[in-house]
Amino acid sequence: MTEQRNDVDEILSAIRAAARRVTVAKRTVAEVLCDANGHLSADEITTAVQQRQPEVSPSTIYRILEEFEELKVVVHSHLGQSAAVYHLSGAVHGHLTCEECERTVQIPASHFDALSKDLQKSYGFLLDRHHVAISGWCALCQAAQLKRS
């Protein structure tokens, strides 16, 4: 898809703009992130990268993810108890994670507009809409709970 190509190119030009080297490993991590639909843990990224470039080590991939976060092309989030997940910074949204079944739903970040304004006004606090998921119980698990009681 042309859109994905553009995303890869954007990441590579951000690397060059920061006067860093573009390597095959970095290009492959960028491709994996752009091809991904949703959230990938560092382990999943490592598996996908090694399918394309078997010689790239996990520690190299971790360093690349750190570098991409520094360059603000990638962000990570924490969804429930599982490992941090990564995606492109252009795809920022909110997360609702169910404490029972651990399913995560992505929601538009605009749901936090009112809360965000309120916190800014009352506490001068700037809300990060993406970093940590909102935890609670999904509709299905609530329904199952009702049936049991």
The residue ranges that bind Zn ion (CB under 5 A) are 98, 100-101, 138, 141
d(CA 97, CA 70): 26
Residue 94 pairs in a beta bridge with 107
Handedness of CA 64, 70, 71, 73 (dihedral sign): positive
- Closest CB 19 distance from Zn ion, rounded Å: 27
- Closest CB 54 distance from Zn ion, rounded Å: 28
- Which residue's CB is nearer to Zn ion, number 9 or number 128? 128
d(CA 148, CA 110): 35
- Which residue's CB is nearer to Zn ion, number 118 or number 128? 128
- Closest CB 105 distance from Zn ion, rounded Å: 10
- Closest CB 106 distance from Zn ion, rounded Å: 6
- Which residue's CB is nearer to Zn ion, number 64 or number 98? 98
The 3-class SS string of 16-41 reads HHCCCCCCHHHHHHHHHHHHCCCCEE
d(CA 31, CA 86): 13
- Which residue's CB is nearer to Zn ion, number 11 or number 98? 98
109 with 97: CB under 8 angstroms? no
